[in-house]
Amino acid sequence: MAPASALSAENHDSVAPVPVVAAVGEDFGREAAPLWTTPGMKSQHPDEGGTWEYGFQNAKVRSYYTVNKCHGSTVRDGAGRESRSVNTASGHKSIAEIWAINSPNLNPSYYYRIC
């Protein structure tokens, strides 16, 4: 692909700008959020212990949590759908998943809990 400076005026008119971020909130002091959900799983190690995995992968928003105490996980999408795992036994993976298509309004939320 040619660098932008190499595009002729004719070609430049046919190139539509692609928005990368949208402002969150109304004031300028806030962070910018992506228009689309970033694919892939993320992993964290909460203060309560264990491993919490969450993200958008293979047409699902997912929240998994594994810890050595009673626990669970929940995921919500921008349409108001929610999947909440059962209270899961110590050492087993709690699973919350929702089928989804990545779009600007997907806006997933991920949670874990200790019971």
The larger pLDDT score, comparing residue 112 to residue 27, is at 112
The 10 Å Cβ neighbour count of residue 59 is 11
What is the pLDDT at residue 5? 37
What is the rounded average pLDDT of the residues 96-110?
A: 92
Domains in the chain with CATH codes: 37-114 (2.60.40)
CA atoms within 13 A on the CB side of 17: 3
Whole-model pTM above 0.85?
no
pLDDT in tens, 22-37: 444 444 455 555 578 8
Report the chain's mean pLDDT, rounded to a whole number. Answer: 80
Of the candidates 46, 94, 53, 41, the residue with the CA atom closest to the CA atom of residue 70 = 94
Q: What are phi and psi of 4, to 5 degrees?
A: -55, -35
**Contact assessment for residue 41 and residue 97, using Cβ atoms and an 8 Å cutoff:** no
Query: Could you say which DSSP state residue 4 is in?
Result: G
